[in-house]
Structure 1
Amino acid sequence: MSSRAPSRRDVLTATLGGLLLPGVAASQPAKKAAPGPSAVKPPEKTAAPSRGRGDAMLTRPIPSTGEALPIIGLGTWQTFDAAPGERAPLAEVLRTFLDSGARLIDSSPMYGRAESVVGELLRKLDATKTPFLATKVWTTGKNEGIAQMRESIRRMGQGRMDLMQIHNLVDWRTHLPVLRDWKARGAIRYLGITHYARSAFDDLERIIREEKPDFVQLPYSVLERDAEKRLLPAAAAHGVAVLVMQPFSSGTLFERVRGRPLPGWAADIDCTSWAQVFLKFILGHPAVHCPLPATRKPSHAADNVRAGFGRMPDEKLRARIVKELEG
């Protein structure tokens, strides 16, 4: 993913100081609202999964509020930048994803038409579950950032946005105060930061420690574990929820296991595919809240969401997974 900065329910009775587009409502919580600050327990240093009820997808609490977040998300980079004639499979991807109990859908204005495609398809779906919508600001300048975020909310959320992130830390010192103000006014529910490059990990760690955003999004997988050294511990210590991009190392993990049968120990963590093993490896780290696998294939979406159910690997099994993949 490129890190270059680009060259380019009820309507609120008040306009939030001009924050939102005319006629656009503030973000609304999911059907079960998160508790207010006075009711929220102190953030946990790790995010132990909830077993849920019956066959419900596991959840982990967002540290800043305690709101339960299903542990499998959906990325849209490359996959949802689709022409009108290519969108039928994506509608089924979204349906499969939401029907499983998953909620978090992540996008960005960097991803071409992805925000618009997500918004269009969600409008057409007869979904009974409220998605947790996340996107990003990816430009320089305060006014430019405000305009871009308003447009993203219009395209993707039709007036609501749960999480707004600063994409690859582009002009983050300018955008962060705006996001804090938007969150205070109710235009967004959470704010976060992202970066895809290991060279930016020092900056991410410093911002986590000093600014304590609600979320951080970073790369992490069986083969790319740099985040384990300092970033994941910092996020856990400061109550920052962790989203994981590139959980399959851009497909490299599947190349490593091509032709290999699934090991017998996969059944010990209720896995029926390598994709589920890779996602559960990530979720086996207690600081991680939600990986974001991206796909345009409904069968892959159905496979991915199954990683949100059943047993997770302990440290011994996680080490074994690393050894097998590195070998």
Structure 2
Amino acid sequence: MQYRTLGKTGLSVSLVGMGGIPIQKIDEARAEQVVSAAIQAGINFFDSARGYTDSEAKLGRVFGSYHAPGKLVIATKSAAKTKSEILKDVEVSLKNLRVKTIDLYQLHNVKDEATLDAVMAPGGAVEGLREAQTKGWIRHIGITGHVPEILVKAVKTGAFATVQFPFSAVEQEAAKMLLPLAAELGLGVIVMKPLAGGALSNSDLALRFLFEHPVTTVIPGMASVEEVAQNSSLGERALPLTPKEREVLEQQVQSLGKTFCRRCEYCLPCPQNVNIPMVFLLDGYYTRYGLQSWAEERYRAMERKAKDCAECGLCEERCPYNLPIRSMLKEASSRFDRE
């Protein structure tokens, strides 16, 4: 396994890390096998979140019995906005992960200026994480999100050691803005959604495409020992794409380009208050990750659903990718809004 330095943290992390979403859908015994296989394959960076149901706890079953402290780099995150809320979340994460210190604690999905202002304000989440650092609960502070303009503004504050964002052959907009800035500021770069939420079926080509860029670690989600073996082996060689392979990948990208939501949120606000990107995100979990029950539960909790679309078309006028949002909402509704 190749390793790279996670920016100013100085931590050495595996080029292929492990994202914590898919292990939600497998039982504890199988999750333990997958996480153990990842460690044996040289993967040492693991990323979870308070919002990923039992993901932290499943990782913790292995971390708690691991006999080489300091060899793993453990990251998780919280969407809490206030100091008190995030300190509570850090305590829960420590308990779930069964560690004394979390290497990287990130603000989860900071998506607009109001949220960024809230977490940066006195009494906000950043202040809470700094206190967690003084307590020895966490080592470094990072940020994640899907809106590059917000992440650019956030990292320029100097409050963060790492930045995590979606980057794939399908979704390159954020990388174009953030990679040069990360290099300038000495930030570690964590790539989420490297397979475009599962839309890119050839993980070999998709991951090797990312290795060619100045990223620190790429964190595909893995729910089987076979997936661990396949992805970790790519991180051992990190071979550049051949011209033919690049052509194959580009063909797949072109086939997805017109029907793939990048979650830029330019379609919002919806006059009917439908959170359109969230509908598509949950639909992706339903169709690509096999997390049907998980996605359905969160969809049911949404106040306004895909079926509430009035087909006004305003979202499609705003969408920079010209997505057929109305028909996409109907398709999602056919899965989620069954009577």
Query: TM-score, normalised on structure 2?
Result: 0.66
1:150–1:320 distance in 2 versus 1, CA, 3 Å: same
User: C-alpha separation between the residues in 2 aligned to 1:101 and 1:124?
Assistant: 17
Count of residues paired in the alignment = 245
1:67–1:159 distance in 2 versus 1, CA, 3 Å: closer
How far residue 88 of structure 1 moved from its aligned partner, in angstroms, is: 2.0
How far residue 74 of structure 1 moved from its aligned partner, in angstroms, is: 0.5
User: C-alpha separation between the residues in 1 aligned to 2:187 and 2:244?
Assistant: 26
Q: Which of 57, 61, 64 matches 1:116?
A: 57
Q: Which of 171, 194, 202 matches 1:224?
A: 171
1:126-158 CA distances to partner (integer Å, 9 max, x unpaired)? 678832111112223221111111111111143
1:216 alignment partner, SS class: strand
1:225–1:126 distance in 2 versus 1, CA, 3 Å: same
How far residue 159 of structure 1 moved from its aligned partner, in angstroms, is: 1.9
How far residue 95 of structure 1 moved from its aligned partner, in angstroms, is: 1.3
- 5+ residue gaps in structure 1? 1-56, 255-273
Specify which structure has the bigger relative contact order, considering alpha-carbon pairs within 8 angstroms and separated by 6 or more residues: 1
Q: Which of 128, 139, 147 matches 1:178?
A: 128
How far residue 125 of structure 1 moved from its aligned partner, in angstroms, is: 5.8
Matched with 2:156 is 209
1:162–1:315 distance in 2 versus 1, CA, 3 Å: farther
Matched with 1:190 is 140
1:285 aligns with 2:213: yes
One-letter code of the match for 2:43? Answer: A
Structure with bigger helix share is 2
1:59-78 CA distances to partner (integer Å, 9 max, x unpaired)? 1112214332211110111x
User: C-alpha separation between the residues in 1 aligned to 2:37 and 2:194?
Assistant: 19
1:199-256 CA distances to partner (integer Å, 9 max, x unpaired)? x2111011112225111110001111112321111111111111111111111111xx
Contact 2:205 2:241 in 1 (8 A): no
% of aligned pairs identical?
A: 26
- 5+ residue gaps in structure 2? 255-339
1:315–1:66 distance in 2 versus 1, CA, 3 Å: farther
User: C-alpha separation between the residues in 1 aligned to 2:129 and 2:144?
Assistant: 14
1:252-304 CA distances to partner (integer Å, 9 max, x unpaired)? 111xxxxxxxxxxxxxxxxxxx3122112111102x11111112111111111
Matched with 1:297 is 224
User: C-alpha separation between the residues in 2 aligned to 1:126 and 1:145?
Assistant: 29
One-letter code of the match for 2:210? Answer: I
Contact 2:85 2:125 in 1 (8 A): no
Written as runs of structure 1 = structure 2, the 5 A alignment for 1:65-76 is: 65-76=9-20
1:235 aligns with 2:182: yes
- Report the RMSD for the aligned CA atoms in angstroms: 2.4
Matched with 1:31 is none
User: C-alpha separation between the residues in 2 aligned to 1:321 and 1:228?
Assistant: 21
1:193 alignment partner, SS class: strand
How far residue 118 of structure 1 moved from its aligned partner, in angstroms, is: 1.2
